[in-house]
Amino acid sequence: MANLILASGSARRRELLQQLGLDFHILSPDIDESLHNNESVADYVQRLAKQKAQAVLKQHAGAVVIAADTSVSISNQILGKPHDREHAFAMWSMLSGKTHEVYSGVCVASDTMLRSIVVKTEVEFQVLHQSDMQYYWNSGEPLGKAGAYAIQGIAAQYIPRIVGSYSNVVGLPLHETVQLLKEFDVLEL
């Protein structure tokens, strides 16, 4: 079996990939994650996933590299990680009572092949009151999370419905990742 590398420092991606029972190494590439002018969210996450995979592959020829990038978006605006309490509250106010999208770009690359895909999941938030926001902020969970929430944690209580891949919202759409890996003969299925 090929040397498999996850090009990500995300604990959530590591945990999701471990669910598949794969042996892999972890390397977190340092790339410029700036949004280009007029770049759609889907194009943005796909570009970053490809750049991460290619950066790791340059240093580890012969490996198969899995890379991903996930963004939370509402009205084509990317919601990053909160800088502070006020920033988190502003994001939650945008998400409150609305449906937003979570996009993940996934790229699997080797010396001879590169495949990528973009997965979109719609996430509905209930109306959030100031008391909900304060409770959630006090939990500490929103820190370091795109969109200032983690669907796999306390935030699940505020999400009545999703349409699409749950694992995509966590950070790595497993079904689609497996389909890509099959093209590289990494999985023995």
Measured distance CA(15)–CA(109) in Å, rounded: 20
* 69 labelled catalytic: yes
Cα 138 to Cα 47, 84, 94, 126, 147: the distances in Å are 35, 12, 19, 19, 16
Catalytic residue among 30, 69, 84, 185: 69
* Residues 108 and 65: beta-carbon distance below 8 Å: yes
φ/ψ (deg, to 5) at 139: -70, -25
Q: Which residues are known catalytic residues?
A: 69
